[in-house]
Structure 1
Amino acid sequence: MATFVLVPGAWLGAWAWEATAHALRSRGHAALPVTLTGLGERSTLATPEVGLDTHIDDITAFVMERGLHEVTLVAHSYAAVPVTGAAGRLGSRLERLVYLDSAPFAEGTCLLDVMPDDTVDQLHQQVAEHGDGWQLPLPPFGLLSTFSSLEGLSEDQLDLMRTRATPQPFSTFAQRLARPGELDDDVDHVMVACHDAQALLDAGMPTLAFLNQPPWRRFYLPTGHWPMLSAPVELAKTLDAVVSSGC
């Protein structure tokens, strides 16, 4: 049995993991979804001061305060940035890092760095016009699809995203990652690539070449960027395979 700590991407809360968490539990695992400050049911805590460091603290505290050990920490999308920052703080509590359609971030980088300049400009416009200058509401799907595949999402699932998504404090996208702590040598490194990440790997991006080398292991899940919604049971099966093959 593995202990999964599931960290959602931007605009999402723990709710997004419900079906995947249920499927993991049915396989005998512990599945603990996280809601980061300012999002989901914690949206009332959103302020202009909520940034990347806030979310790093959230993830660290979630593990520490529950006394969790042998943790498989799963980072979807934006969560790759705070998870990279939190992982080095967890020491021997961390057994495995799983980046879900995402990848670790380097010191001094932020989420906006991996987006095209015109997309970043449009997001800044959304913040200025619809987010009081400090929040980023879920962008219109036409804009969202320019940097994250919506493939596999039904109209009902798109409606669920539109209804339940909460504005993201924009500092979490813009704040740069301070130097992450060192990981223990025996931490398992895993990437689960959906279509977005697989396309970047297929393109041979030099900055992602390390993901093709040990200690990294890679799994492929053929769906769009939001697999906990588009393919929740298949995602649970993939995560089960990750921990089973890593034993």
Structure 2
Amino acid sequence: MATFVLVHGGGHGGWCYQPVARRLQAKGHIVYAPSLPGMGEHTHQRHPDIDLDTHIDDVVALLQWEDLTEAILVGHSYGGMVITGVADRAPQRVGHRVYLDAAYPRDGESLHEHAFANIEGARQGLYVENGVELVMKPDPIHPGFFGIHDPALAQWTYERLTPQPWACFSQKLVLRNEAAMRALPESHIICTPTIPGRDMDLLRARSQGRVWDIDTGHDLMLTEPDWVTERLLEVAATMG
């Protein structure tokens, strides 16, 4: 039995992992899929101080309060920034990092710098609400941007998307214990269209070849939940 902590990406909440979480739980695994501060069901708690560190600290607190060890951290998209920071802050509680079509940052890098083309586009739509700088204001076209083309699934997703505090994308990730974080096993699950621009040789070397790709949209946990679950079960099988 493995313990998974599924961390969502920008504009999303823990809700986006429902199909995968249910499949993992049906196999007997323990699954946490938190909505990060200010996101999902926590939008009413949004405040100007929410940034990348806030999200990292929140997941670290989850690991501590639930007394988790050997946790398999899964980060989708922006969630790759978060799980990298979490593994850096609490490597003793982490057993594996899984990057789900995710950011794979270097020390001192923000998501804005890491994925400039996409995030700069989001920045152009920045607005302020209740003192919080926000991007990714939900729009009916967003599910298509995330690769969701089934009308029912697209509508379900659109109804749950929320704006993202800009500071989460602009704050630089500062690693404090990079050697310990890098020593933890990692795997990469990638959407084929996002391969260009990735250093695939580096990813394969750091993950001992555990790199899978599938030709689907960015929200692959929603469009291909069976396939994603199978890959996560393969990761769990590597745990001693």
Q: Which residue of 1 aligns with 2:218?
A: 225
Q: Is the 8 A contact 2:133 2:165 kept in 1?
A: yes
Whole-Å Cα distance in 2 between the matches of residues 192 and 41 of structure 1? 27
Structure 1 pair 214/178, CA: closer, same or farther in 2 (3 Å)? closer
Q: Which residue of 2 aligns with 1:21?
A: 21
Taking structure 1 as the reference length, what is the TM-score of the superposition?
0.86
Q: Is the 8 A contact 2:13 2:36 kept in 1?
A: yes
Q: Which residue of 1 aligns with 2:80?
A: 80
Deviation at 1:239, TM superposition (A): 0.6
Q: Which residue of 1 aligns with 2:122?
A: 123
Q: Is the 8 A contact 2:5 2:32 kept in 1?
A: yes
- Out of 195, 199, 203, the position equivalent to 1:211 is 203
Q: Which residue of 2 aligns with 1:200?
A: 197
Q: Which residue of 1 aligns with 2:232?
A: 239
The aligned length equals 238
Structure 1 pair 47/133, CA: closer, same or farther in 2 (3 Å)? closer
- Out of 161, 164, 168, the position equivalent to 1:165 is 161
Q: Which residue of 2 aligns with 1:176?
A: 172
5+ long unaligned stretches in structure 2: none
The one-letter code of the counterpart of 1:241 is E
Deviation at 1:131, TM superposition (A): 8.9
Equivalent residue of 2:6, what SS?
strand
Q: Is the 8 A contact 2:128 2:134 kept in 1?
A: no
The one-letter code of the counterpart of 1:156 is A
Identical-residue share of aligned pairs (%) = 29
Taking structure 2 as the reference length, what is the TM-score of the superposition?
0.88
Deviates more, 1:133-142 or 1:18-27: 133-142
Q: Is the 8 A contact 2:48 2:131 kept in 1?
A: no
Deviation at 1:144, TM superposition (A): 7.9
Deviation at 1:140, TM superposition (A): 4.2
**Segments of 4+ moved more than 6 angstroms:** 129-133
Whole-Å Cα distance in 1 between the matches of residues 121 and 131 of structure 2? 15
Structure 1 pair 122/189, CA: closer, same or farther in 2 (3 Å)? closer
The one-letter code of the counterpart of 2:177 is G
Deviation digits for residues 23-76 of structure 1 (CA, Å, limit 9, x no counterpart): 001112111111100001111111121101100101100111100111000000
CA RMSD of aligned residues (A): 2.5
The one-letter code of the counterpart of 1:126 is G
Deviation at 1:139, TM superposition (A): 5.4
Deviates more, 1:50-59 or 1:133-142: 133-142
Q: Which residue of 1 aligns with 2:91?
A: 91
